[in-house]
Amino acid sequence: QVQLVESGGGLVQAGGSLRLSCAASGRTLSTYAMGWFRQAPGKEREFVAAINWSGRNTYYADSVKGRFTISRDNAKNTVYLQMNSLKPEDTAVYYCAAVATTDWNTRHYFNEYDYWGQGTQVTVSS
């Protein structure tokens, strides 16, 4: 069983930056592929970014490509999402997710993940 806890959310002006963290406990994250998703009020949860177990393969939604960077530190059992050039449309609750796999691929759909954090709110003001 993996427990995931997100942190780093907050209120930021458009154009600003935030760094989200997802800390894991219960199991080492080094054998898990990880992802970030977000959900805005009245909208479905959407994929943001994913990273494979080694950190060598990453994938991004078109809406965040070039602005967001996903990374991981397996020694710290933590995954990060660096968000730059934030826009009001990035406002949402951000969730991290994990699935046990050591293949090369990243996972882009919410039903591919087994473990979820509680979410952290990101609000971008215009």
DSSP state, residue 118: -
pLDDT band at 72 (very low <50, low <70, confident <90, very high): very high
Q: For residue 114, what pLDDT is reported?
A: 95
The DSSP secondary structure of the chain, one letter per residue, reads --EEEEE--EEEETT--EEEEEEEESS-GGGEEEEEEEE-TTS--EEEEEE-TTSS-EEE-TTTTTTEEEEEETTTTEEEEEE-S--GGG-EEEEEEEEE--SS----SGGG-SEE---EEEEEE-
Contacts of 116 (CB under 8 A, 6+ apart): 4, 95, 96, 97
pLDDT band at 70 (very low <50, low <70, confident <90, very high): very high
Average pLDDT across the chain, whole number: 96
Q: For residue 89, what pLDDT is reported?
A: 97
Write out pLDDT tens, residues 78-113. 999 999 999 999 999 999 999 999 988 999 998 999
CB 51 within 8 A of CB 106: yes
